[in-house]
Amino acid sequence: MIAGGAAAWATLAFMLFSEPAFALPAFLFDPLILGGLAAWAATQFSAPVRWLTPASSRRAAALKAARATFVERGVQRTRARSGVLVYCALAERVAVVVADSGVETALPAGALAAWEQRIDRALVHGGTAAADAVAAMAPAFAEALPRSRDDVNELDDAIAHDIDRRPRA
């Protein structure tokens, strides 16, 4: 919306103050057409949307999606309440770590927020850097939640993505 409005306003300003003369109907339609095209073009690339969306809004949207995914994938169903979901919103360049109550009580206060920030910074540098930041969490989790003899893996360790089925707004 912001990109479209700015393009429409710039088009109108150009038409009003430039040397060439424009037909009167052009003042009604040209800014709307160019504004619509600019708004559409801005949605086709994640960078302009990210620049025009406040960081707090991007983080809130990622948090909402991460919590929904946490429940949708059944991460909260472990016996020891030790499920963790690392949600990376690539377009927004935001990471959210959602942990079940057993993990939150086992880790020091602020540990999950620190991991989120570390993964956020890594997302800028690509998938390998983000994967390394996620892997670096393992020793902290291993220390806070040591494995017991009868422990079984209750969750799928696979990386899941929705890149192919992500709807375009």
How do residues 3-47 score in pLDDT, each as one tens digit?
Answer: 889 999 999 999 999 988 899 899 999 999 999 998 888 878 767
> What does the pLDDT look like over 94-133, one tens digit per residue?
999 999 998 888 998 899 999 999 999 999 898 889 999 9
CB under 8 Å to 12, separation ≥6 — which residues? 27, 31
Whether 98 and 128 have beta carbons less than 8 Å apart is answered as no
pTM over 0.75, yes/no:
no
Please report, for the chain, the start and end positions of each structural domain, with discontinuous segments joined by +: 2-44, 55-144
Q: Which helix (H) or strand (E) holds 70?
A: helix 55-72
